[in-house]
Amino acid sequence: MNTVTRQRIANGVYFNAVDDTRFKTGRISVTMFTPLLKDAAAANALLPQVLARSCEKYPDFISLNSRLNALYGASVAAFCRKMGENQALTISAAGLDDRFTMGGERVSIELTALLCEMLFRPKLENGIFCREDVEQERRQMIDMIDAEYNDKRTYALGRCIEVMCADETFGTKRYGTKQQVQALSAKAVYSAWKRVLQTARVEIMAIGSFDKQAACAMFEKAFAGVDRAPVQTQTQVVRTVKEVKTETEKMDVAQSKLVMAFRSGIAEPDSDVMAARLMCAVLGGTPHSKFFLNVREKYSLCYYCAARFDRNKGIITVESGVENENIEKARKEIENQIRLLQNGELSDFEMQATKMSVVNSFQTMADSVSGTEAWYISQMLDRHVLTPQQAAEKINALTTRQVIDAAKKMALDTEYILTGGKD
């Protein structure tokens, strides 16, 4: 079992070390948790992309790539996640584990130094970020937003959340809006950098077998120069439904989309989060789930029917691709399968098969350095950190009654339909 150590190195800054010798590569990342705000989301989302493309010491792709190639072909990545009503802004560096270098080089420490350069000494032009760099990353983000719009499954899910959480922060997209991204300036992204460094909760993750004390000391020294005043990260969890919201949108699409969003009544740090996670998998998370075997296979009402659980927000979404004439039939059968589970229809086979599938997904995720990093980062928000092995033990310990009780808390909140035909 992997061991995870955690230490506070500055106000709101934590260094997490995962000792894992299974891989030939190591990884170190810095994730900054900042509240999801409509007016700041776009600038925050673009920030890690701008920081990861250059720095004062390596001001262009040629010099940066040359440095990475010298470190046995290391790489740098940046991304933005939405976790609850927060943005998680991550910059990470991966490279050959120190055990495998030819001359005893400490690649991990060099990558730590590079991350510090990117975070604390970015490339500036006239006291702000380089306009050309911001413009290039801005165009790439617009391309990603357009790609999500063109993927109608992704689009339908996003629109359902927007409708469901119109009066909640969670309704804001992780990138903000396309219009906000288009309006971003170099000055706005620079201001976001200053604000995030001072106010975000920072989780540093080091994975591999290298000198973590040295890496920790470098980050501690770097953050010592920042006047920190971290803001509290939190997520509003709505546990009841006053009325069901419905919205239908027409587009020229070949396949209609039906998305149903439920309040689960369960969210971190509730003790029954694992039961809700397993319950969601029983409904629509495996090839032997109730939705797959009945809505899709038995009744042929949809092309796909899957469920996912957001444990930070306590929302369960059910996504399906359907023909126009089957929308109502699919909706009724989805509700029927939920009702059957709530009434206690859950066999021993379904329980054991679903447990096995969920546990295998934990193990699969932890079979790579990037997956291991994602596993732990996903838990840092609520600080209730489990190893994959510990999570598996909790899943295997769940009873049928606990899963049924979790299902009974589900309440339909929003129905969104994207149907074929033009307005």
Q: Is residue 206 part of a domain?
A: yes
Shared-domain flag, residues 395 and 361: yes
Q: Which domain holds residue 147?
A: 3-223
DSSP string, 222-246: HHTTS---PPPP--------SS-EE
**Domain check: are 45 and 94 in the same one?**
yes
Q: Is 158 a member of any domain?
A: yes
Shared-domain flag, residues 55 and 131: yes
Residues 333 and 205 in one domain: no
Question: Based on the domain organization, do 219 and 257 belong to the same domain?
Answer: no
Return the structure tokens found at 256: 């209609």
Q: Is residue 240 part of a domain?
A: no
38 close to 237: Cβ distance less than 8 angstroms: no
SS3 257: strand
Judge if 35 and 87 occupy the same domain: yes
pLDDT of residue 104: 83
**Residue pair 9/15 in contact by the 8 Å Cβ criterion:** yes
Q: What is the pLDDT of residues 350-396, one digit of tens each?
A: 999 999 999 999 999 888 898 999 999 888 887 678 899 999 999 99
> Does residue 232 lie in a domain region?
no
The pTM for the full model equals: 0.94
Q: What angle do CA 368, 389, 272 make, to 5 degrees?
A: 120
- Confidence band (pLDDT; 50, 70, 90) for 2? low
Same domain for 179 and 295? Answer: no
**How much is the average pLDDT of 34-44?**
96
> How confident is the model over 281-286, as a mean pLDDT?
96
Based on the fold, state whether residues 268 and 132 are members of the same structural domain: no
Residue 423 has pLDDT above 50, yes or no: no
- The single-letter DSSP state of residue 386 is -
Residues 112, 254: one domain? no
What is the number of structural domains in the chain? 2
pLDDT above 80: residue 210: no
Length of the chain in terms of residues written: 423
Average pLDDT over residues 136-152: 96
Residue 216 domain flag: yes
Q: CA-CA distance, 415 to 420, in Å (whole number)?
A: 16
User: In whole angstroms, what is the distance from residue 39 CA to residue 264 CA?
Assistant: 29
> b/e string for 355-389 if b means 16 or more Cβ within 10 A?
bebbbebbeebbeebbebbbbbbbbbbbeeebbbe
- Helices then strands, counting H and E runs in the chain, come out as 15, 13
DSSP-derived 3-state class of residue 7: strand
Calculate the average pLDDT of the chain: 94
The reported pLDDT for the residue numbered 384 is 75
Q: Is residue 51 part of a domain?
A: yes
For every residue of 295-356, DSSP letters joined together read IIIIS---SEEEEEEETTTTEEEEEEEE-GGGHHHHHHHHHHHHHHHHTT---HHHHHHHHH
Are 212 and 259 in a shared domain? no
Establish if 147 belongs to a structural domain: yes
In this structure, are 157 and 28 located in the same domain? yes
For residue 47, the domain's CATH number is 3.30.830.10
Asked if 385 and 261 count as a contact pair (C-beta separation under 8 A), the reply is no
Same domain assignment for residues 151 and 216: yes
